Structure formats: C-alpha cells, structure tokens
Chain A
C-alpha cells in the first residue's frame, strides 16, 4: 500500500517536473495525438507551468491559423519543406541562440506538427536543431490519425517518421480521450465505415488520459498513465490493469483484420468476430492470469524442489568439459 503511494507521488512529481521543463536530460518531448484528443490542452498546460520562468518559445507553424500569444517568435512555414525549411529555421535559431543558451533562459522550439516534415528529412531536421545548440528543448506534436504514406521507392530502408521520432524522443506524451477504452467499438466502426467522419462526441476535452514514457539518462525508461485536467492544472496517476502497449494494440487489431479477411465469403454464416465481441473476449479474466501475478515475481528462475529419492549431483551436467 505504502509502496503504491510512493509510486503515485513519484509519478505526479515526475510529470510536474516535465511539464515545467525542469527535468534534466529531457530535450525532446514528442506529443502524440489524434482526431479525438489533440495536443492543444497539454501544450497549454506546459505553457502555464512555465509562466514564471522566462521561456523563449520559437513556434514553428505548419498548420496554426493564429499566432499563439505565448510565442516569442513565430515562424510561418506554410508551403516550405526540405532544405529551405532547414535553412530558414537554422538561420533563426543561430541568430537567436548562437550556441550560448547557457543557464539563463530556456529555449523551446515548438513544432505544431511533425507530420509536415517528410520521413526521410526528419533526421536531418532534428540534427540541424541540435547542431545549433544541444540545450534547445524541442516540443513536437505528431498526429497519429493521418493516413500513412506508402510509396517509398527512394528510401525503402528508411524508418517511418513515427518510428524514428519514438526512437529519438526523450519523453513521449500520448494523449487519449477519457473514454478511449469504453467507446462502443461496434458503433464507431459503423460510423466510420458508412458515414465517413472521424469526429465523435466527447472528443478534445480539457480532461484527458495521458500515457507517458520517460527515458532517463541511465537508459532506464519509466511508464506512467495519468488523468489530466488542464483547466485546473491537476493530474493523477492511474494504474493500468493490464500491461498494455500501444504497439501491441496495433498488432492485435491487425491480426483481427487478417482473420476477418481469411473467413470472408466462405460461408453464409458469420465466422468472424466483431470489434465489440473481440473486446469483451479480451476482457474475460482467465484463471492462469491470477497465477501469473504471484508467480511472475520469481521471474524466469528455475526453482527445483528436491524430493526424498532425488540424487543430488554437484556437477553441472551441461558444463563445458574444456
């Protein structure tokens, strides 16, 4: 119980420190958002936490209509990409910081959407920023619900933008609507399939779920999940019943669609499962899951219990004889 309370307190402190841009070694915040919950509120929350300290915020805009009030410099990048973009931002960064951010102000480069930079240009772009000064803090949003480009003839072996960003980010903030689990999948499927709109009720609220992955300098990474209220600026850590991973979720949904394809058109019966059925099936707690929680603590150790007739042999039968 007390250990749990300590973890909760730690999680909250960590989030507060991150929001206030005080955690050392954290210089690239990747914010992942979707149609249903945009990064707007979490960014506003960060700005609020930093009102007291002098932040130099350079706002790189690809899709923002009006200049945000907190931006000290607003860089309009509509319709530019590639080398022109790198040159433009590099020039501004150099003239402002010129390699001497030092200890006084913190320099933040906020990018409203990293989706506008092509996959193959992302690494060059990030490199350009950190070449100016590695103390620049980058806060970049990446929209998850864009259609993914498939033609990659020139850069076949290059990682996808999202994969690359997840790899280089020092902390990943994934924002989700409060009801991201309980939405009636069947209804959502139906709505998207037949009525072609990505919008649903209950989207983009100031109260949302935040999944946080923080990579420490030591190489260890921690994961927490919070419910954040960005109007009151409070957050609370919540426990995950199952140890889920966003990658895992993607994989399982892929499997499901494969299964559906296989069974399609074979009979007049419905052999596949609907999204709703799959969800309820996943929610059933199987008996061995309970055993896992206790036994899981021993990890992979082999525990051999001797019985009275057992012959104890000191030598390791599998030992290398030489």
Chain B
C-alpha cells in the first residue's frame, strides 16, 4: 500500500501525443477506430464515459471540426445523461443555427424496450436484428443528416449485450450489427461500453453449451476484442476497498493499432499502455495516480 501514497498524480492520456482522444484520429478520413470499455462488478465505467464526452466537447471547442456524439444506451434514459452533461458543463442543447460545435444525440433503447420497441412475443434473431437496423442505425443516420452533417461522428453504445440475454439474438448477429453500424454510419470512433460479469464472460475455454448465455456473451466479447484498436478496462482494487483509491484503469493495445503504423509511420497515434489507479472525489471527478 505504501507505494500508493508515494505515487504522484498523473495526467490521464491514452495517446502518445498526450491526448485522451487525439484530434488526428477524428481528422483521419479513411479509418474508423473501435474501442472497448469494460468494467466488472464492483466498478463502474460511467465516470470514464463522462470524461471522454467532456474531452470530445473540449476538442470541438479548440478545433475547427464539429463533433457529434451519438449515445446509444440500453441501460439509461435521456434524463440520466442530461443531468450528467449539465454537471460537466457541456452544452447539449443545439439547433442548426446555434454556434455550438458539439452535438450530443441520445438514442434511448432503455425506455419501453420490451413494451413498444420490441414485442415481447416476437424476440427472434431476425426481429431483434430488424429493430437494431431500423431503430438504431437508421435513427443515427437520420439525425446526423438533419442536425450534424459534416461533423465528425463518434458513437457510444452502452450495453447492447443486454439483447443477448433477453432475446434470441445470436452473438454473431449482434457482432455483425455493430460492424454494419460502423460501416454504414462511417463514424470516426466507436466506443463499446459494457459491464462484464466474470460469471458470464468466461475466457477460460470451458464452456459446454452453445445456447447458454455464457457462450453468447463470451463469444460476442471475444469477437469485439479481435477488432478493437484499444481497450480500456476498469477493475476494483484487488485488495478490496480503500478510502483514497476507487479502482484501477488499464489502457491496453487492441488487436489492431489505431493507424497503420507500418505504412503511415505516425507514432503519435499509438496507444501508451498504462495502468492507473484512480480516485473519484466528491465532485465526481477522477484523480489519477500512476501505477
């Protein structure tokens, strides 16, 4: 524990050019980056998501580009994020005429999901797929076209694997839907946020039932990890609780580097693999310590 006290406060950054989200990443026209944010029981990723959104809004302020964030959530409603954004001092009310260069669109997949959006009597693979395409992908495209065209699109998708546990949707179908969403929307960056229960995501290769939820979730998360450019993983402290440390955040390389490092040779866009200890203070802001 002593080392924790000796540890110095750290600037939090993911990229080699000391940024959380590098502006170069959004300017790059040809590529889309994909990142997973995972947390496990005993920790939460909402502070990190807030930090990323705040960062994107600052980025829009400092640069010429307009940035639009599409937030697709399966576990929160719009009010939750309205409050969160207000606390962060991020202006999310926008009109086409307004000067704000940052647009925040919320797509609510939580309210009335099983009563209005999906029919409880028809939860087959196909009907959930249709819902995903029609409700989520089409809505993103329509809103983008209407309010934010020419802006750089960033998508957050929060806990879509809830569909795996509550419907007949197959893991491969959901994975293909995520890929389709990336390809159709041509977004610059997609964050897949999920809370993994180790009971459900078992990477030890000991699953023995293809139709079990464990298989579906593990298969889905595995597939995501093979296409990700970087992974952010949040865990609670190994030792349990501490009054001055909330948990640990690991920034890890994904299966593919952010840019074609070899052909483009741009090191500033590479990830700095790091582990941080973080502490969420009373205002809900994180303080980082180097590990």
Interface residues of A (CB under 8 A from B): 35, 38, 40-41, 44, 48, 63-66, 68-69, 78-79, 113, 116, 143, 145-151, 190-206, 230-231
Are B38 and A231 touching (Cβ within 8 A)? no
Residues of B within 8 A of A199 (CB): 225, 231, 233, 250, 252
Smallest beta-carbon distance B182→chain A, Å = 6
Smallest beta-carbon distance A317→chain B, Å = 53
Are B180 and A197 touching (Cβ within 8 A)? no
A191 to B196: give the CA distance in the assembly, Å.
13
- B203 in the interface (beta carbon within 8 A): yes
A195 to B222: give the CA distance in the assembly, Å.
15
A174 to B76: give the CA distance in the assembly, Å.
43
- B1 in the interface (beta carbon within 8 A): no
Residues of A within 8 A of B205 (CB): 145, 147-148
A64 to B261: give the CA distance in the assembly, Å.
16
A41 to B219: give the CA distance in the assembly, Å.
24
Given A63-B223, A66-B30, A66-B31, CB of A149 within 8 Å of CB of B252: no
Are B32 and A65 touching (Cβ within 8 A)? yes
A149 to B219: give the CA distance in the assembly, Å.
10
A195 to B200: give the CA distance in the assembly, Å.
11
Within 8 A of A (CB), among B133-189: 172-173, 175-176, 179-180, 182-183
A205 to B272: give the CA distance in the assembly, Å.
11
Are B182 and A143 touching (Cβ within 8 A)? no
Picked from B176, B207, B233, B273, the residue with its CB within 8 Å of the CB of A150 is B207
- B257 in the interface (beta carbon within 8 A): yes
- B89 in the interface (beta carbon within 8 A): no
Are B210 and A198 touching (Cβ within 8 A)? no
Picked from A35, A44, A194, A205, the residue with its CB within 8 Å of the CB of B262 is A44
Residues of B within 8 A of A193 (CB): 198, 204
Interface string of B217-244 (1 = CB under 8 A from A): 0110111011100010101001000000
Are A63 and B227 touching (Cβ within 8 A)? yes
Interface string of B187-202 (1 = CB under 8 A from A): 0000000001110111
Closest to A257 in B: B206
Are A198 and B225 touching (Cβ within 8 A)? yes
For this complex, 8 residue pairs linking A to B, each with C-beta atoms less than 8 Å apart, are A63-B175, A65-B31, A65-B32, A113-B226, A192-B204, A195-B198, A198-B222, A206-B262
Smallest beta-carbon distance B267→chain A, Å = 10
Residues of A within 8 A of B225 (CB): 35, 198-199
A35 to B215: give the CA distance in the assembly, Å.
17
> How many residues of chain B are within 8 Å of chain A by beta carbon?
54
Residues of A within 8 A of B223 (CB): 63, 146
- B40 in the interface (beta carbon within 8 A): yes
Smallest beta-carbon distance A52→chain B, Å = 15
Picked from A146, A201, A202, the residue with its CB within 8 Å of the CB of B219 is A146
Are B252 and A203 touching (Cβ within 8 A)? yes
Interface residues of B (CB under 8 A from A): 30-32, 34, 38, 40, 172-173, 175-176, 179-180, 182-183, 196-198, 200-205, 207-211, 215, 218-219, 221-223, 225-227, 231, 233, 235, 238, 250, 252-257, 260-263, 273, 275
Are B233 and A197 touching (Cβ within 8 A)? yes
A113 to B255: give the CA distance in the assembly, Å.
13
Given A35-B225, A63-B179, CB of A40 within 8 Å of CB of B210: no
A201 to B248: give the CA distance in the assembly, Å.
13
A66 to B260: give the CA distance in the assembly, Å.
11
Residues of A within 8 A of B262 (CB): 41, 44, 48, 206, 230-231
In the complex, given contacts A63-B223, A147-B207, what are 14 additional A-B residue pairs having Cβ atoms less than 8 angstroms apart? A38-B255, A63-B227, A65-B34, A65-B179, A65-B182, A65-B227, A113-B226, A145-B205, A147-B202, A195-B233, A197-B231, A197-B233, A199-B233, A206-B261
A35 to B221: give the CA distance in the assembly, Å.
11
A196 to B175: give the CA distance in the assembly, Å.
19
Are A198 and B203 touching (Cβ within 8 A)? yes
Smallest beta-carbon distance A193→chain B, Å = 6
Given A65-B34, A147-B219, A195-B40, CB of A78 within 8 Å of CB of B176: yes
Smallest beta-carbon distance B146→chain A, Å = 25
Residues of B within 8 A of A145 (CB): 203, 205, 222
Are B235 and A195 touching (Cβ within 8 A)? yes
Closest to B254 in A: A204
Residues of A within 8 A of B235 (CB): 191, 195, 197
Residues of A within 8 A of B180 (CB): 78-79
Residues of B within 8 A of A44 (CB): 260, 262-263
Residues of B within 8 A of A190 (CB): 238
